[in-house]
Amino acid sequence: MLYSTWASLTSGGKAMRPTKKTPQHSVDISEDSGVRNLHFGSDWIQGAMRIARPWALELAYTREMMAGLLMRPTGRWPRNALLVGLGAGSLAKFIYRYLPDCRITVIEINPQVEFIARQYFKLPDDPRRLDVVIGCGADYMLGGDKRFDMILVDGFDPDAKAGALDTEPFYQACRARLSDQGLCSFNLLGWNRGFKGSVERIGAAFDGRVAVFPSCDSGNTIAFATGGEPVDVSLDELRASAMQLKKDTRLDLLPTISRLQLSHPLPDGRLRI
């Protein structure tokens, strides 16, 4: 079942008016076998929530975007996180639920998406911990100086294009907004013809300090980058962290580590960025 919500979106009893930069495509919702999906004017799934487990990360690529949690010491890291692209709110909800000391800022260009995330995907209404800013992610990055421990970039239009979010100036701005222990996580489409160019632009912006994980089943490829304190962790340390993360949050990243080991040569059995 697929139904459009564009015509019915309201905020505070008033119709929401798109701005010049607001995408003009419809925002649609479908449900199948207990999973609610978000679409941007096409059949392509932009976000998903298993209705019985609203806090879980349903899509494989969203789970892998959180692998940065295995690369830094546990405890109070991350203290703050910036998400570029809200979608169904999966990443924001996971961080909100399982990282209670982390403050979350989300940049979303389409106000209708925020409405739907709250109305249909159980995005929490807690502005003290979860601040949703309606605006262009590229403008936000280039126009401020607040620094973040974790930056997750997941923004595409209905044609699977990231636009200004896939340019070297944007990636340079991401690096500038990282804290000393900061990590960036970028969702890239491994099947897209521009994938190699995206990786090259990220590498140029971060002086080659990039780790590109092998594509998951959906074809999404996650790239991690940093410009501050180096990441230097052994496979054993990654597995130990993954086992603890699974115990604490039910998020299982052990298969991700296995695929990483099989697909990439890791000198001395260590992941270094």
The length of the chain, given as a count of residues: 273
Active site residue 252: no
- Tokens coding 218: 């959906």
User: Which is catalytic among the residues 28, 149, 154, 166?
Assistant: 154
| CA contacts within 13 A on the Cβ side of 257 | 23
Query: For the chain, what is the largest distance between any 2 Cα atoms, rounded to a whole number of angstroms?
Result: 60
- Tokens coding 127: 């502005």
User: How far apart, in whole angstroms, are the C-alpha atoms of residue 16 and residue 70?
Assistant: 40
Radius of gyration of the chain (CA): 18
User: How far apart, in whole angstroms, are the C-alpha atoms of residue 220 and residue 213?
Assistant: 10
Report the SS3 class of residue 179.
strand
User: How far apart, in whole angstroms, are the C-alpha atoms of residue 249 and residue 244?
Assistant: 9
Contacts of 78 (CB under 8 A, 6+ apart): 72, 99, 102, 148, 149, 150
Calculate the alpha carbon distances from 169 to 85, 137, 165, 222, 252 in Å: 18, 12, 9, 19, 34
Q: Catalytic residue numbers?
A: 154
